[in-house]
Structure 1
Amino acid sequence: MTTQDYSARHLQVLEGLEAVRKRPGMYVGSTDARGLMHCLWEIIDNAVDEALGGHGDRIEVILHADGSVEVRDRARGIPVDIEPRTGLSGVEVVFTKLHAGGKFGGGSYAASGGLHGVGASVVNALSARLDVEVDRAGKTYGMSFRRGEPGTFADRGTPDPTAPFTPFERSSELAVVGKARRGVTGTRVRYWADPQIFLAQAQFAHDELVARARQTAFLVPGLTMVIRDERRLPGTPGAEGPTEETFAYSGGIAEYAEYLAPDVAVTDVWRLQGTGSFSETVPMLDELGHMVSREVERECEVDVALRWGTGYDTVVRSFVNIITTPKGGTHVAGFEQALMKVFRKQLETNARKLKVGNDKVEKDDILAGLTAVVTVRLPEPQFEGQTKEVLGTSAVRTIVSRTVEKALTERLTSSHRGDKAQASLLLEKVVAEMKSRISARLHKETQRRKNALESSSLPAKLADCRSNDTDRSELFLVEGDSALGTAKLARSSDYQALLPLRGKILNVQKASVQDMLANAECAAIIQVIGAGSGRSFDLDLVRYGKVIIMTDADVDGAHIRTLLLTLFFRYMRPLVEAGRVYAAMPPLHRIEVAGGRGKGREREFLYTYTEAQMRRTVAGLEKKGRTVKQPMQRYKGLGEMDADQLAETTMDPRHRTLRRITLADAARADEVFDLLMGSSVAPRKDFIVESAHDLDRERIDA
């Protein structure tokens, strides 16, 4: 831009937006992919605010192949008339003036997500190009901007952010670029993020966008969200061609809570709703344009959907005017405060029936297995920063707490048969979690690395090791007492400990926490590992560097291994995530190869782990002229091996093979465990029937 082209007009338009370009982190958090996505949320949230007000029922987001992104809605459309104080069109005011928009006066939006009035203008300032089209009154209006400055691009049909740009000199022109059908209104915003601001590797995250669209569709019943990806990026669903996903839900946050829930339900989804009012002093412009402080009355709507499941993971999503608050705030604090108050009162009332004793319930006991969606709607909420991650309006805490306390108490004390049964199950679950926490704490206090003389508090059947070095020590979970005898002779007692298991342990995917703790085998495993269970599990207190499941190489052994992995997955998951759980691989066959001709040729023993490996090995030996003694030994269990064979094949670190159990995809693993081991029989039956044709019948011991 030359000196003669730099006029007062440019100073007027760019004065505020220059601050955004100099300090983008203050407005969008960062200049990486997170900041890029935040810009997109600002535009989408403007469209969602219209839908919240009952204007428009469809929003489309298109990721174009040229790197731009477009948001379309069918709402009222941005005002196109002249704003009297600035003399600019409503479109230009929204996209060039900080702290300007329909969310300040209080007449346009009762509750909205964009409150600071900087969303659209900040996105405009950080874009190499932004095009906006508005359908109103039978006409389509259009305007373009370059880095926040209005003007015209000299492109030829196809929008190009690098095309020659001519800024408006004296006055802006909101051009009429087409006709709109009668009764059709809406806004289309398409922009190219500025490469001068954002990092070169920053890209719009397809999965994050889809998750946000799904979440918004849940929060605004009746709204349809469409995500179209035309970029053909490797690793995305649209890698092979343009892809489109549509989300629309009528059940609201109750359906959202059911969708988020990771476990089997203990209660139905309960909806807790209410309103409250509060007053606050805010600065406002009077008729003369002066800023004065006035006390205004606000109304806060509270809507909470929650349900408890059999697991111990907690999933809580919180929103203010459909804007997600990942770090919580006063609304979440009020919600948790009410939970504590209600449950402590209910447990005190039913102490004798539930056998609570003198123990006190804590927040984690109540939150175990809880899935909740906490939403509040209020005008002009106070957030901590433009990124709106924490709600700061203090009065909301009291309103949410009072609403949840009243509605939840009614549920837990209801005389309705269904509610009464669920309330009873829920209180029993909370008490079981409390007892589990207390039991785990006692384990932590008593289960430290002990030598042989100090191990009196550990199970008598544990054959512990002598070493105090946790990283070096290993715990073998052995199937049956017969295998234990051989394993004792085969192990290195310096660093290898043995815990025998009598048959198949409890299937903890279907059992309650209380049943799991009451099971002798499960309790012994938790006690020996020494780090507690569930939410109170502490990886730093685990007594062994490796936990190795050593079962027979047959169907029963595989079942026992699955049951043990279910226990670890549900109640000691950090141990699996740390890669400290292993499965031993005992051999299936022992091949005796006769000695060859001449002196010094002794018999040789080879071990194989599958039928296919055994056949390949035998064929290879015969091809070399070696003689394989028949019949070959086929191990039916660990007890058939002698100590030397077990040590050489399964326990000696120099020769053994271990399989590390990993959680590459925890969510998928959770689904598989619930399918194979959960309480729902029908999906498991369908899985077995569908997978029957893949079964190798020769692998079944019959």
Structure 2
Amino acid sequence: MANDYSARHLSVLEGLEAVRKRPGMYIGTTDSRGLMHCLWEIIDNSVDEALGGFGDRIEIVLHPDDSVEVRDQGRGIPVDIEPKTGLSGIEVVMTKLHAGGKFGGGSYAASGGLHGVGASVVNALSERLDVWVDRGGKTHHMGFRRGEPGYFKDPASGATPDAEFVPFVTGSELAVVGKVAKGRTGTRIRYWADRQIFNKSATFTYEDLLVRARQTAFLVPGLSLVVRDERNPLEPHEETFRYGGGARDFVDFVATDTAITDTWEITGRGTYTETVPVLKANGHLESEEVERECIVDVALRWGTGYETETRSFVNIISTPKGGTHLAGFEQGLVKALRTQIAANARRLKLTGKDGVERIEKDDIMAGLTAVVTVRIPEPQFEGQTKEVLGTGPVRGIVAKVIDQELTAILTSTKRDTKAQASIVLEKVVAEMRARVAARKQKEISRRKNALETSSLPSKLADCRSNDVEQSELFIVEGDSALGTAKLARRSDYQALLPIRGKILNVQKASVTDMLHNVECASIIQVVGAGSGRTFDLEQARYGKIILMTDADVDGAHIRTLLLTLFFRYMRPLVDAGRVFAAVPPLHRVEVSGSARREKEYLYTYSERELQDTLRDLKRAGRKYKDDIQRYKGLGEMDADQLAETTMDPGKRTLRRITSADAAAAERVFELLMGNEVAPRRDFIVAGAASLDHSRIDA
């Protein structure tokens, strides 16, 4: 068998056959992602026209018959004859790999499509594709079936991929099917994806399409993108996107936390040279050293949070995996911030141990939202899916622009900008200190055993169990409640940590102030998983965190402050459903016994429940003591009562704290606990009329 292997065993795939044989090489996958990638290729061609200043409207329509249509107002695909092949421009673009106007011929200064395989690949992977071009006062049309040009004999009901197809045999024909106004130009493409290639379950995702259209509208100010979903004729959806602020508007849209700086826009440019093959007039490719220009457009701002959100683009093409432009952005950012922090070390109190610590990239990126865009001719991407930019010189240009322009902002003498720059430097230093503190916590916050002593807070009454899933940490309000809770708990798996009254409001405080607060620092240390961006859920020492506060207004306030701390700095615990609020009773009713029944104690948790319980007892003819006990705090309970009502897993009630809608929860926390007083006052005034005065604990 080995000796029989010869040249006749080799296969040569011609033209679009290679695309159909190995689609993954061109579009990544043959599921919904690959299907959407084909659509992006067609949309990007229309956007490239808009980038060049030709047309300001693009329409994308999802039809009920599983086809998709893209319309633009660009110059239109050329319809004249291409001299080398003798074919019309439409047929060359749609059937020839690596053919197009984006190979340095001057048709596009910067474009998203550059490999010349976008439209032809989509055509090869389509059961049917139709192209209409308005140009020179006429509408030209050509149809294709799986990449082969021809025409369809459509029924009266309309176009369908199942219609009889007649391929061109002797020569291709570009049909003129109508007239348009002489100045009107544009391209319309409608295609049906080939289900012989794509998975049966692959579908066009309307939500993904909206996201892509919105981001493109941000990046090309003044361009309108209309997305229409007609797949359900009874409930069609249509949305239009158009923005004028560019990357600045994009950052404001993406950011979810409260801003501590304005959205700063940084622009600049630089040149570089590279050796590339250039197509000469004689049709030959010759290597030449050409000068390129890189235009940098960055918008960024810092917020109160610690998550980082960066979006990077090259000629409006999203690069989700980054590349040289994103690396240059981070390099320039780190250099500028390190320099300014070093220059302000005394004001930032970077002395002693802090002075030894080096500012890391993660410290700077905490709370940063940024959109990084570069425009360059003929960018070098790693693969046809264009997820990573590989053009090397771009890194240095972007880094230099960011370093120079951001330094100018951070050293500005304008009052507002100077104040915001100071806040940014303080935030970065606070993040550094938080990272160092988290590292130290992980080193010391291990469970003690017989051979090691505990460095945890002395007021912690820890449990004996090492089983994280079973263990529970009760955060108790006050030392008086702690004494009762110690007698009521099951010490093998229930730990107690008392706090003194109302802790720091971390929604208003800085990270540094939070870490210096004794109560906050104790809670973070006892939980043992760090805080902020360094939080590691797997390192948490307890399976449940239970907030056990008094059942009054002050207790609710303390619980809210604790939840703010967990939501801002230990959110994974909340997201995992491991934070709970204990539900202690408000009243204790002593029901008199009789010959048949023993004396009984009933607990109620609200005034309404108490009245309902008393009414039921009267109806049943049962007597109870008139001096009903009203618990003002947990310390008024004895150990048996606290265990029975609040701590015993078999009898207690716990409220699980969730954040199903984290964005909405963030807005509520900011409204109730943030720095802005006016929105909070408006909220209180608006709700005053509906307040039930009987609920006020006066």
Q: Same fold (TM over 0.5)?
A: yes
User: In 2, Cα distance between the equivalents of 1:660 and 1:596?
Assistant: 39
> Paired residue for 1:507, among 502, 505, 508?
505
TM-score (norm 1): 0.92
CA contact (8 A) 1:282 1:293 kept: yes
Between the aligned partners of 2:427 and 2:90, the Cα distance in structure 1 is 56
Measured in 1, the distance between the counterparts of 2:686 and 2:71 equals 43
Q: Which residue number corresponds to residue 174 of structure 2?
A: 174
Structure 2 unaligned runs (5+)?
A: 1-11
Gaps of 5+ in 1: 1-11, 233-237
Displacement of 1:629 after TM fit? 4.5
Deviates more, 1:295-304 or 1:632-641: 632-641
- The letter of the residue matching 2:118 is G
Q: CA deviation at 1:172?
A: 2.0
2:460 to 440, 459, 462: 462
Tell me the alpha carbon deviations over residues 546-603 of structure 1, each in whole angstroms, 9 at most, x when there is no partner.
11111222333222222211111111112222222112122333343433543xx212
Distance 1:129 1:433, change over 3 A: same
Give the match for residue 224 of structure 2: 224
1:673 pairs with 669, 676, 680, which one? 669
**1:295 aligns to 2:318 (yes or no):** no
Match of 1:147 in 2: 146
2:555 counterpart SS class: helix
TM-score (norm 2): 0.93
Instruction: Write out per-residue CA displacement over residues 157-210 of structure 1, whole angstroms, 9 at most, x where no aligned residue.
Output: 422122222222222222122222342211111222222222222222222211
The residue that corresponds to 1:8 in the other structure is: none
Aligned residues: 682
**2:128 and 2:451 mapped to 1: Cα distance?**
76
CA contact (8 A) 2:32 2:204 kept: yes
* 2:25 maps to 1:26: yes
Q: How many Å separate the matches in 2 of 1:167 and 1:24? A: 23
Q: 1:183 to 1:473 in 2, by over 3 A?
A: same
Give the conservation status (yes or no) of the 8 Å contact 1:490–1:643.
yes
Distance 2:617 2:170 in 1: 93
1:570-581 equivalences in 2 (<5 Å): 570-581=568-579
Q: Which residue of 2 aligns with 1:274?
A: 268
User: How far 1:252 moved relative to its partner?
Assistant: 0.8
Q: CA deviation at 1:666?
A: 2.5
Residue 358 of structure 2 corresponds to 360
Matched with 1:663 is 659
CA shift, 1:692, in A, is 4.6
Deviation at 1:217, TM superposition (A): 1.0
Q: Which residue of 2 aligns with 1:405?
A: 403
Aligned counterparts, 1:479-498, within 5 A? 479-498=477-496
Local SS of the residue matching 1:402: helix
1:60 to partner: Cα distance: 1.4
Aligned CA RMSD, in angstroms, stands at 2.2
Taking the aligned partners of 1:619 and 1:200, their CA distance within structure 2 comes to 63
Aligned to 1:137: 136
Which stretch of structure 1 is more off in the superposition, 641-650 or 14-23? 14-23
Structure 2 matches for 1:131-280, cutoff 5 A? 131-155=130-154, 156-232=156-232, 241-280=235-274
1:70 is matched by which residue type in structure 2? E
| Aligned pairs for 1:79-90 within 5 A | 79-90=78-89
Is the 2:446–2:528 Cα contact (8 Å) retained in structure 1? yes
8 Å contact kept, 1:452–1:466: no
2:300 is matched with which residue: 303, 306, 323? 306
Q: Is the 8 A contact 1:451 1:466 kept in 2?
A: no
Matches within 5 A, 1:508-657: 508-598=506-596, 601-614=597-610, 617-618=613-614, 625-657=621-653
1:396 aligns with 2:390: no
Residues 229 and 675 (structure 1), Cα distance of their counterparts in 2 relative to 1, 3 Å cut: farther
- Alpha-carbon distance change, 272 to 157 in structure 1, aligned in 2, over 3 angstroms: same
Q: Pick closer, same or farther for the CA change 1:525–1:39 going to 2, 3 Å.
A: same
Contact 2:447/2:454, CA 8 A, preserved across alignment: no
1:386 to 384, 387, 395: 384
CA distance in 1, matches of 2:680, 2:592: 48
- Counterpart for residue 344 of structure 2: 350
SS of the counterpart of 1:274? strand
CA offset digits 1:412-442 (Å, max 9, x no partner) = 2223333222222211111111111111111
For the structure 1 residues 446 and 75, does the alpha-carbon distance in structure 2 shift closer, same or farther, using more than 3 Å as the test? same
What is the CA–CA distance in structure 1 between the aligned matches of 2:105 and 2:607, rounded to whole Å?
76
Task: Give the Cα separation in 2 of the matches to 1:165 and 1:564.
Answer: 70
The residue aligned with 1:99 is: 98
Alpha-carbon separation, structure 1, partners of 2:281 and 2:113 = 25
Within a 5 Å distance, the mapping from 1:685-700 to structure 2 comes to 685-692=681-688, 695-700=691-696
8 Å Cα contact 1:137-1:182 kept in structure 2: yes
Query: How far apart are the structure 2 equivalents of 1:691 and 1:164?
Result: 67
Partner of residue 65, structure 1: 64
Aligned AA (1:54): G
| Amino acid aligned to 1:173 | E
CA distance in structure 1 between the aligned counterparts of 2:115 and 2:654, rounded to whole angstroms: 58
Alignment partner of 1:427 is 2:421: no
SS of the equivalent of 1:43 reads helix
Give the counterpart letter for 2:643 in structure 1.
Answer: A
Measured in 2, the distance between the counterparts of 1:17 and 1:603 equals 88
Q: Is the 8 A contact 1:227 1:245 kept in 2?
A: yes
More divergent stretch after superposition (583-592 vs 88-97): 583-592
Q: Which residue of 2 aligns with 1:684?
A: 680
CA contact (8 A) 1:448 1:541 kept: no
1:235 corresponds to: none
Question: Is the 2:104–2:377 contact (alpha carbons within 8 Å) kept by the matching residues of 1?
Answer: no
SS of the residue 2:131 aligns to: strand
User: CA distance change for structure 1 residues 537 and 107 in 2, over 3 Å: closer, same or farther?
Assistant: same
* Greater shift in the superposed pair: 246-255 or 148-157: 148-157
Cα separation, 2, equivalents of 1:27 and 1:688: 58
Deviations 1:3-32 (A, max 9, x none): xxxxxxxxx9x9322221222211111111
- Please, which moves more after superposition, 653-662 or 404-413? 653-662
Conserved 8 A contact 1:218-1:256: yes
Alpha-carbon distance in structure 1 between the residues aligned to 2:194 and 2:614:
66
Mapped partners of 1:201, 1:629: distance in 2:
68
Against the structure 1 CA distance between its residues 66 and 687, is the aligned structure 2 distance closer, same or farther, given a 3 Å change threshold?
farther
Select the residue among 301, 321, 329 that pairs with 2:315. Answer: 321
2:331 to 333, 337, 347: 337
- The answer to whether the 8 Å contact 1:69/1:191 transfers is yes
Equivalent residue letter for 1:603: K
Q: Deviations over 1:288-347 (max 9, x none)?
A: 433332222211111111111222111111110011111111111111111221222222
- Equivalent position SS for 2:14: helix
Alignment CA distance shift 1:36-1:695 (3 Å): farther
- 1:351-371 residue CA offsets vs partner (Å, 9 max, x unmatched): 222121322111111111111
Say if 1:81 and 1:621 are closer, same or farther in 2 by CA, change over 3 A: farther
Worse-matched range after superposition: 612-621 or 631-640:
612-621
Q: Give the C-alpha shift of residue 91 in structure 1.
A: 1.4
Identity of aligned residues (%): 71
Q: Any conservation in 2 of the 1:254–1:306 contact (CA below 8 Å)?
A: yes
Looking at structure 2, the residues matched to 77 and 558 of structure 1 have their Cα atoms a distance apart, in angstroms, of 65
User: What SS class does the counterpart of residue 93 from structure 2 fall into?
Assistant: helix
* 2:441 corresponds to: 443
Preserved CA contact (<8 Å) 2:311 2:372: yes
Counterpart-to-counterpart distance in 2, 1:573 and 1:37? 33
| Structure 2 Cα separation of the partners of residues 582 and 270 of structure 1 | 40
* Equivalence for 1:7: none
